[in-house]
């Protein structure tokens, strides 16, 4: 049985996300005059909420799960669980030690125990399922039928997964990505008349959706009907956006993100994507790159969405402060990673497969 590059890519991507979420907002670094590992022998925190405990456990469950998948088939069963637990423990200890230098974070030995518990839970769940998931299960069959084989296509699937994850950020316009103003502390664009704002929002949604769909079509298996896959990808993104408003924002109604501009952009983008899916692969790659760049420019020129400004203020300051920073980072960096990937695909002739 072969190793899975996709599992390894997902594991590395998740570890990087954990590192960023653990150290967000990455500012105010200062020494405390004690060892960074002094927290390991300190008393347990006096004030702990159930939310904090569960967040630390749940946050590391995917880490353990993906680790045993990445190790398969070289390490299996109990050995894989042990290796995953040790890796999760090492990661947690390192992140808590780094938090000792952040005034907004509190290093805690209890957090380490919760992270270890989450890693063990994920690894224990993944170990008996690894072979089935990677070589037999429906996800593997779907992967084999819908997309070309090889590590290059696996990297593209991870990129698409990160795009879906970015939809969890309710602060962005629909499918809007690449906004660098928060990261660079640049003021928002000037206000527009409502009609102009609706048009800008529609253009952003349409251009980004078309670009993502064309990227997905570029790694589709030859001979497959790609349009159902693109419709499914769009439906998944809308479901994630709705989930963000329903569970994270607790917004009523849950379709508050479907503004007039978003609705027009969704309809136009999906129509163009389905039509452009029939273009030659080189043309699809070029069009995807152009639309990605154009949408990124528009995102950075658009003003803040006035419809949800107050709700988003509560989101940014609430329990999900670190999660908000994580989704914002992914949304901000995604177009630039996508452009690099599109250039890589264009530089390769023929199939995407590496093997």
Angle at which helices 227-243 and 194-218 cross, to 10°: 130
147 bridge partner residues: 220
Rounded to whole angstroms, how far apart are CA atoms 42 and 26? 24
Query: What pLDDT, on a 0 to 100 scale, did the predictor assign at position 313?
Result: 53
Domain match, 263 and 295 both: yes
| Average confidence (pLDDT) over 63-68 | 95
Residues recorded for the chain: 355
Domain match, 288 and 335 both: yes
Instruction: Tell me which residue range forms the domain holding 280.
Output: 148-347
Rounded to whole angstroms, how far apart are CA atoms 46 and 33? 22
Domain match, 71 and 215 both: no
141 within some domain: no
pLDDT in tens, 35-55: 888 888 888 777 777 878 888
- Residue entry with tokens 């349009």: 227
* More confident: 29 or 65: 65
Q: Based on the structure, what is the number of domains in the chain?
A: 2
Most confident residue range from 196-200, 204-208, 251-255:
204-208
241 within some domain: yes
Residue 73 above 80 pLDDT? yes
Mean pLDDT (the chain) is 85
Q: Which of 94, 115, 136 lies at the terminal end of a domain, its last residue?
A: 136
Rounded to whole angstroms, how far apart are CA atoms 50 and 24? 21
Most confident residue range from 162-171, 184-193, 248-257:
162-171
Domain match, 105 and 239 both: no
Could you tell me the two tokens for 341? 């990937």
From residue 114, alpha-carbon distances to 52, 97, 264, 317 in Å are 9, 15, 45, 24
Judge contact between 121 and 61, C-beta under 8 A: yes
Domain match, 303 and 185 both: yes
pLDDT in tens, 222-235: 888 899 999 999 99
Domain match, 238 and 314 both: yes
Domain match, 242 and 108 both: no
Domain match, 47 and 170 both: no
* More confident: 46 or 146: 146
Rounded to whole angstroms, how far apart are CA atoms 85 and 297? 43
Residue 351 above 90 pLDDT? no
Judge contact between 114 and 108, C-beta under 8 A: no
pLDDT in tens, 93-132: 999 999 888 887 888 899 999 999 999 999 999 999 998 8
313 within some domain: yes
Query: What pLDDT, on a 0 to 100 scale, did the predictor assign at position 159?
Result: 95
Q: Which of 136, 169, 184 lies at the terminal end of a domain, its last residue?
A: 136
Rounded to whole angstroms, how far apart are CA atoms 122 and 120? 5
| Average confidence (pLDDT) over 328-355 | 80
From residue 106, alpha-carbon distances to 44, 95, 101, 111, 245 in Å are 11, 11, 9, 10, 29
183 within some domain: yes
Query: What pLDDT, on a 0 to 100 scale, did the predictor assign at position 191?
Result: 58
Could you tell me the two tokens for 321? 């402060």
Q: Which of 113, 136, 159 lies at the terminal end of a domain, its last residue?
A: 136
| Average confidence (pLDDT) over 135-156 | 85
Residue 355 above 50 pLDDT? no
127 within some domain: yes
28 within some domain: yes
* More confident: 148 or 171: 148
What's the maximum distance between 2 C-alpha atoms anywhere in the chain? Answer: 63
């Amino acid at each position: 049985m072969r190793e899975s590059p996709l599992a390894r890519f997902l594991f590395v991507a998740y570890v990087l996300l954990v590192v960023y979420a653990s150290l967000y907002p990455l500012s105010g670094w200062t020494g405390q005059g004690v060892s960074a590992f002094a927290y390991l022998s300190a008393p347990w925190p006096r004030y702990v909420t159930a939310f904090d405990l569960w967040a630390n456990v749940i946050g590391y469950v995917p880490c353990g799960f993906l680790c045993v998948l990445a190790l398969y088939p070289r390490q299996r069963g109990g050995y894989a669980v042990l290796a995953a637990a040790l890796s999760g423990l090492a990661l947690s200890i390192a992140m808590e030690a780094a938090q000792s230098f952040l005034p907004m974070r509190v290093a805690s030995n209890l957090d380490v125990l919760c992270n270890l518990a989450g890693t063990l839970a994920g690894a224990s769940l993944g170990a008996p399922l690894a072979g089935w998931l990677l070589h037999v299960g429906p996800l593997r069959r779907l992967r084999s039928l819908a997309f070309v084989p090889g590590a290059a296509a696996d990297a593209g699937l991870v990129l698409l997964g990160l795009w879906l994850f970015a939809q969890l950020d309710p602060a962005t316009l629909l499918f809007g990505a690449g906004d660098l103003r928060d990261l660079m502390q640049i003021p928002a664009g000037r206000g527009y008349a409502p009609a102009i704002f609706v048009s800008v929002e529609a253009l952003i949604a349409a251009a980004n959706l078309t670009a993502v769909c064309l990227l997905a079509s570029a790694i589709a298996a030859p001979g497959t009907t790609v349009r159902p896959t693109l419709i499914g990808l769009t439906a998944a993104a809308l479901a994630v956006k709705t989930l963000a408003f329903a569970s994270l924002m607790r917004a009523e109604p849950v379709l508050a993100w479907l503004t007039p501009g978003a609705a027009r952009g969704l309809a136009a983008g999906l129509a163009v994507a389905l039509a452009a899916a029939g273009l030659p692969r080189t043309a699809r790659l070029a069009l995807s790159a152009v639309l990605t760049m154009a949408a990124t420019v528009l995102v950075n020129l658009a003003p803040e969405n006035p419809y949800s400004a107050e709700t988003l203020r509560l989101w940014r300051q609430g329990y999900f402060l670190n999660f908000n920073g994580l989704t914002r980072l992914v949304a901000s960096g995604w177009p630039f990673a996508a452009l690099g990937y599109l250039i890589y695909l264009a530089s390769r002739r023929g199939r995407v497969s590496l093997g």
